[in-house]
Amino acid sequence: MKKFFTVIGGMGTLATESYVRAINHRLTITRDQDYLDYILVNNASVPDRTGYILDHSKPSFLPALLEDVQQQSLLKPEFMLMVCNTAHYFYDELAAATDVPLLHMPRIAVNKLIETYPNEEKIGLIATRGTIADEIYKDEVEKVGREVELGGPEIQPMVDDLIYNHVKQTGKVDEELYYHILELMHDKYHVNVIILGCTELSLAQELAPNHPYNVVDPQSIIADVSIEVALKIRQGEPTDEVLQPYLK
């Protein structure tokens, strides 16, 4: 297989499945060959990302991801991406371990957010405790001159419940809980745009999109970027030129 890309997933598996559905179903298909060429690494054995970020005595997830990146690099994909927000804690180490371009999903999502909502000064964020603690999105949002709003102490326990007890365990979304979190962020904490900083929240959005709130879904955005880039490379455009806007 030539001119393919690699998806490093499995964190969690059902969220990765949501990404795969997106890149498969957003294409216009008339034959088998119209689908994208990619390798999916569903490494469900990667240690818990949030667990390590909050407590470094627990197993690090860097060795497993480093092994994935190095193994895939031998196959020479055109680019790689990780469909896990919290895994970007080790983005710099992983990108340095390969000559293959590694897309930065949170950075791409924030750039898209600014393009779509250029006048929003305060951006809401709901995510795992690990993503909140490592400030992946806070750093990216502040780089573009905006402020992150996490909400009050009642928000995170509800987000944890939605992610771990509903989406991860059952593959289903508690719509009432999801919508209530968005409502609180909008009405009580006065944010008009909310980043879904966990791929389980991306799955929640896929399953329960019927709400009036503006959300920025990084997994959905990286799916669109994957399609755009992969199709241009397939059509013969130079990989470096196609990827350049997404590697800033």
Q: Is 111 a catalytic residue?
A: no
Q: Helix, strand or coil for residue 225? A: helix
Do 36 and 27 form a contact (C-beta atoms < 8 A)? Answer: yes
Q: Which two tokens stand for residue 17?
A: 């499945």
What is the side-by-side order of every strand in the sheet holding 5-9? 38-42, 5-9, 80-82
**Which one from 193, 198, 201, 203 is the annotated catalytic residue?**
198
**Which one from 11, 84, 204, 225 is the annotated catalytic residue?**
84
Do 18 and 199 form a contact (C-beta atoms < 8 A)? Answer: yes
Do 14 and 171 form a contact (C-beta atoms < 8 A)? Answer: yes
Q: Is 3 a catalytic residue?
A: no
Q: Helix, strand or coil for residue 212? A: coil
Which residues are part of the catalytic machinery?
Answer: 84, 198
